[in-house]
Amino acid sequence: MNPVVHINPLDRAIPCLPGETLLDCIRRAGVRLAGDCGGRGTCGRCRVEIERGEADRREAAPVEAGSVLACGVRPRENCRVTIPPESLEANPEVLTTHSFPGVGAGAYAPGAPAVECRTVRIPPPEMHDARSDAERVRAHVSAEQDSPVSSLDYRVLTTLSTDLRGNDWTVSVATYRGEIIRVGAPDLAPLTLAVDIGTTTCALYLLESAGGREIDTMGVENPQAPRGADVVTRLAAAIHDPGHDLQRTIMEGIGTHATRLCERNGRRPEDIVHALFVGNTAMHHLFLGLPLEQLVNAPYVPATTAEITLKSRELGLPFAPGSVTRWLPNVAGYVGGDMVATLLAAGVLQNRDNQLYLDIGTNTEMCLATPERLYMLSAPSGPAFEGAHMEHGMRAAPGAIDTVATGAGPTGAGPTARTGTPFTYTTIGGGKPRGICGSGILDLICAAREQGLIDWRGRLRQGELVVVPADEAAHGRAITLSQRDIRQFQLAQGAIACGVIILARSAGISPEDITGVVVAGAFGTHINMNNALKLGMLPVPESTPIRQIGNAAGAGACLAAVDAGAAESIQTILEEIRYVELVTAPEFKTTFARATYFKRTPAERDTSNTKGAAK
């Protein structure tokens, strides 16, 4: 008899599978228990309280009296477990918006659509014209379109004759690269789906194949996320734990969400004739079921970087049976099609007078576009911006402190509260604060630098910084920033700043020559870039114009999904990219070390610092 786990306060009872950890058991029941480390017991986020019942514990599993990490215990008898609110994963905020007003509005309606759609009346067969149904459709559509049709998808053929007769010979036809991939009722216009698969979140865009109008968007957590928050953990889970089929997880997740997205707009997933995916190389390999071993071991070789086009049905996606699923090509290493899409949307080929394009994340992808080349690298900036490895860090979710400034605000008024500390802050959703997300950490460090609480080397003048006193926080514990937290931030800053410096050096210019910065991605949209400039995270002149463009990867995926001409731009981008290996660059270490430090204030530059800052 397997033990049963009762969960307070959800009032759920879940039977355990043999040998299952409490974490897996709770998650299997659909409860979003937090966890970033793939169950290794290192992130400390899956803390639960066992009120009753015996369980086998992994060494060092207990974190505090009465509470354990759920990944480290296996119930031995029926247990009653309480999940504190902070151990539940908040619904992530997923950015599906971007600053390309044309994209998705149908205004950029391409000259050559990726999928040709038209409603045609096929002349019915007669005694003197007894061509096959397929040949009849092929010839007729060919004659009407600019591009000739050479074939019909096999699954289209299996229903073609009934589809034609059932619709009285007037049908909607979708053609992709010379192949008819769907024949359907004339009122069911073909749909295109563009998806940006991020390590943490996925953004789905539902578009009309003809004209490219955006119908709706949806942001969801990557369903693989519980198996590891970062790429390395995720890949390790996929390799070492074949019990969890991560390809099936993402496929089912995308299928379910795409279905919801269609249905809430009165459509069906079977109307999707074309799906285009972008993502980093790891997400690409996990989605397509490509081999992973060579990707996780040095020198980190992808199985392929070429564009992949296949039938959606081969992956088990619930789209039109003849529909096409594509992945944009990857660049190199872990830099994937999402960065290609970002550059496409940002118009990199039109704007390359030493422009810097950045997508800030766990890995920060950057591209320096000079008139000669597109220099690109990936900087290991780590999860600090997602609040990981920070004592009070959290993702950008309700209750997260997202902005901080120097000074006291009005007491309890609106989102700003006086805290009795030298800081004012706002939270996402305006409620009581639970922790600090990446943008808040950046602001906080900047404000603390302004007040002289942190020196140029990142040393706290004293103890730790209290941002929110205990009585003001949602969980009744003071929200603070510790020396270790600052170090995490410095490592992230160092990686990014060092990346920019080495990229500029590779291009034969100085970071001072950079004429503009374009910042894409969710984090890059929410942060105060002026503070990033002040701290030295972006080693460019402080007057450099900065554009924050939102989910450009999603916008680029939409463009590539509806515009056949995008393929040519993508090809040009790929040909012009020079990929720079950051960590093997000879000057990497010393550049990195220097870049972890904050820009010195004039006072810090002048005084001889031998007196020492903190003891």
Partner 1 sequence: MNTKKITELLVELEEDKVYDAVDEAIAAGVSGREILKASQAAMATIGEMYKREEAFVADMMFAGEIMRNILTRIQPLLEKEGGKGATLGKAIIGTVKGDIHDLGKDVVMIALEGNGFEVIDLGVDVPPEKFVEALKNNPDAKVVGLSVFLTSAFPSTEKTVKAIADSGKRGQVKIMVGGAPVTEVVARETGCDYFAEDAAAGVSFTRSVYGV
DSSP letter (8 states) at residue 207: E
Q: Residue 155, exposed/middle/buried by CB under 10 A (0-12, 13-18, 19+)?
A: middle
52/458 Cα distance (integer angstroms): 45
Q: How many CB atoms lie within 10 A of CB 166?
A: 11
State the alpha helices, DSSP H only, in 474-565. 483-506, 522-526, 529-535, 552-562
CB of 527 to partner 1, least distance (A): 22
CB of 60 to partner 1, least distance (A): 12
109 vs 296 by CB, closer to partner 1: 296
301/176 Cα distance (integer angstroms): 31
State the alpha helices, DSSP H only, in 227-382. 231-240, 246-263, 281-288, 293-296, 312-315, 337-346
CB of 361 to partner 1, least distance (A): 20
12 vs 40 by CB, closer to partner 1: 40
Which residues have C-beta within 8 Å of that of residue 288, sequence separation ≥ 6?
247, 308, 315, 327
Q: Residue 502: CA atoms inside 13 Å, Cβ hemisphere, count?
A: 28
CB of 567 to partner 1, least distance (A): 35
487 vs 547 by CB, closer to partner 1: 487
553/205 Cα distance (integer angstroms): 11
Between β-strands 465-468 and 479-481, what pairing exists: parallel, antiparallel or unpaired? antiparallel
65 vs 298 by CB, closer to partner 1: 298
CB of 459 to partner 1, least distance (A): 8
Which residues have C-beta within 8 Å of that of residue 563, sequence separation ≥ 6?
108, 110, 112, 113, 114, 212
299 vs 476 by CB, closer to partner 1: 299
Structure tokens belonging to residue 185: 């009722």
382 vs 438 by CB, closer to partner 1: 382
Asked if omega into 291 is within 30° of 0 (cis), the reply is: no
CB of 362 to partner 1, least distance (A): 16
Structure tokens belonging to residue 318: 């619930």
Direct distance between the N- and C-terminal alpha carbons of the chain, in angstroms, rounded to an integer = 59
108 vs 579 by CB, closer to partner 1: 579
Q: Look up residue 225 and give its amino acid.
A: A
CB of 547 to partner 1, least distance (A): 30
87 vs 362 by CB, closer to partner 1: 362
CB of 333 to partner 1, least distance (A): 12
CB of 469 to partner 1, least distance (A): 25
CB of 540 to partner 1, least distance (A): 21
CB of 280 to partner 1, least distance (A): 18
Q: Are 362 and 572 in contact (CB under 8 A)?
A: no
- Phi, psi dihedrals of residue 501, rounded to the nearest 5°: -65, -45
CB of 324 to partner 1, least distance (A): 37
Name the strand (E) or helix (H) holding 450.
helix 438-450
Which residues have C-beta within 8 Å of that of residue 607, sequence separation ≥ 6?
none
Position of tokens 């040519």? 568
375/371 Cα distance (integer angstroms): 11
Q: How many CB atoms lie within 10 A of CB 447?
A: 23
126 vs 606 by CB, closer to partner 1: 606
310 vs 593 by CB, closer to partner 1: 593
CB of 461 to partner 1, least distance (A): 13
Binding site for partner 1 (CB under 8 A): 296-299, 457-459, 483-484, 487, 490-491, 494, 583, 589-590, 592-594, 596-597, 608-610, 612, 614
101 vs 612 by CB, closer to partner 1: 612
DSSP letter (8 states) at residue 275: E
CB of 259 to partner 1, least distance (A): 38
393 vs 494 by CB, closer to partner 1: 494
Between β-strands 47-52 and 79-82, what pairing exists: parallel, antiparallel or unpaired? antiparallel
Between β-strands 272-279 and 191-197, what pairing exists: parallel, antiparallel or unpaired? parallel
Cα angle value 408/414/417 (rounded, 5°): 30
154 vs 300 by CB, closer to partner 1: 300
Cα angle value 567/569/574 (rounded, 5°): 95
353 vs 587 by CB, closer to partner 1: 587
